[in-house]
Amino acid sequence: MECAVLSDPRNAAKIVRLHFHDCFVQDDTITLQGEKSATPNVDSLKGFEIIDSIKNKVESDCPGVVSCADILAIAARDSTVLVGGPDWEMYLGRKDSKTASYELANSNLPVPSEGILPIITKFLYQGLSVTDMVALSGSHTIGVARCQNYRARIYGDYTASESYLNDLRASCPAAGGDDDTVAPMDNVTPNLFDNSYYQILLRGEGLLNSDQEMYSSFLGVQTKQLVLQYAHDPLAFFHQFAQSMVAMGNITNAVDGGEVRRSCRFVNT
Ligand code: HEM
């Protein structure tokens, strides 16, 4: 992970997001074709080759012991630390799923066009809390979003400085542009894991509608309090983020007992 993040800090963001999607879909590695092509993942989820390369090294030293889910959990923790975020200890011993589910990848994962209540419901469904949701969303302090996920917002009721808005609109035109052009979700310190994401929400400049809703929706009384707290108290954010990552990493899927995959891309045959 050190090499990967040194060569491109965005690699940290890719791995943190991959771990999130892994946890929310059955606790398996969402590397089967079926889940990769689900709406929240297609053309969007990245970093698989980094996990492949770590897995190859681990397998050559110690075959058949360390699951892809454990590798991803550790890689996400180390990614966070490498870009300036908090550190934490976690349980290991996760197993990889023997299946994959396109349907669950579509239904369990939140999307930015959703309102705050359905998104909260998806976190509660996984046994996580509203506090977990607000703290974990803080990882949008690193990484990027694609134009198709924020176009409606920047041509709608968006309150940003004129120069920032002009830049965003120039690279993501209302029509005819490239849907996959990216912009950082934290335009102040895009490669640093800090609490600036929450300060951006206080200014109304959240790039994703779902992020801004946590502060601006009249339905988000509790989420607004938490955003305010984390914007003013970076240590409280770091402390909660670490706890919530442990909780998210402990979501289990005991249905089929699981296995240690030989390749993270496929179930064992
Ligand atoms: C609360 C609901 C959430 C929604 C609706 C959401 C949605 C999104 C979207 C739309 C993107 C941009 C994807 C693209 O345009 O290709 C994104 C990126 C990202 N998300 Fe989330 N997300 C949520 C929660 C989380 C959580 C809980 C985590 C991690 C713990 C996370 C980590 C990330 C990271 C690190 C990126 C940047 C990835 C990159 O640069 O490749 N997100 N998210």
Q: Tell me which residue range forms the domain holding 186.
A: 141-243
pLDDT at 254 over 70: no
SS3 label, residue 182: strand
Is 178 domain-assigned? yes
HSE of 33 in the Cβ direction (CA atoms, 13 Å)?
Answer: 0
pLDDT at 74 over 90: yes
- The answer on whether 259 is annotated among ligand-binding residues is no
pLDDT value of residue 28: 46
CA of 61 to the centre of ligand 1 (A): 33
pLDDT at 256 over 70: no
- Ligand 1 near 144 CB (within 6 A): yes
pLDDT at 120 over 60: yes
The total of structural domains in the chain comes to 1
Q: Please state, for a pLDDT cut of 90, what percent of the chain lies above it.
A: 79
In this structure, the strands spanning 182-184 and 144-146 are antiparallel
Write phi, then psi, for 98 (nearest 5 degrees).
-90, 0
DSSP state of 115: -
pLDDT at 111 over 50: yes
Catalytic residue (one of 19, 21, 232, 239): 21
- Ranges of beta strands (E only) in the chain are 144-146, 182-184
Choose the most confident range, by mean pLDDT, from 89-93, 226-230, 262-266.
226-230
Is 204 domain-assigned? yes
pLDDT value of residue 27: 46
Residues 6+ positions from 152 with CB-CB distance below 8 Å: 113, 209
Yes or no: say if 130 and 222 are a contact pair by the CB < 8 Å rule: yes
Is 253 domain-assigned? no
Is 197 domain-assigned? yes
Q: Which residue is it, tokens 């938490």?
A: 226
Is 157 domain-assigned? yes
List the CATH number of the domain containing 188: 1.10.420.10
Token readout for 157 is 């009721």
Is 219 domain-assigned? yes
CA of 5 to the centre of ligand 1 (A): 18
Yes or no: say if 1 and 61 are a contact pair by the CB < 8 Å rule: no
Q: What is the dihedral of CA 148, 42, 142, 8, to 10 degrees?
A: -110
- Determine which residue's CA is closest to atom 42 belonging to ligand 1: 137
Task: Give the pLDDT confidence of 98-110 residue by residue, as tens digits.
Answer: 887 778 877 889 9
Tally of CB atoms within 10 A around 218:
8
Nearest of 238, 231, 244 to residue 133 by alpha carbon: 244
Is 171 domain-assigned? yes
21 is catalytic: yes
**Which of 39, 42, 140 should be mutated for ligand 1, with most atoms under 8 A from CB?**
140
Angle at CA of residue 87, ends 23 and 129, nearest 5°: 45
pLDDT band at 266 (very low <50, low <70, confident <90, very high): confident
C-alpha–C-alpha distance, residues 133 and 172, integer Å? 28
Of 53-67, 102-116, 168-182, where does mean pLDDT reach its minimum? Answer: 102-116
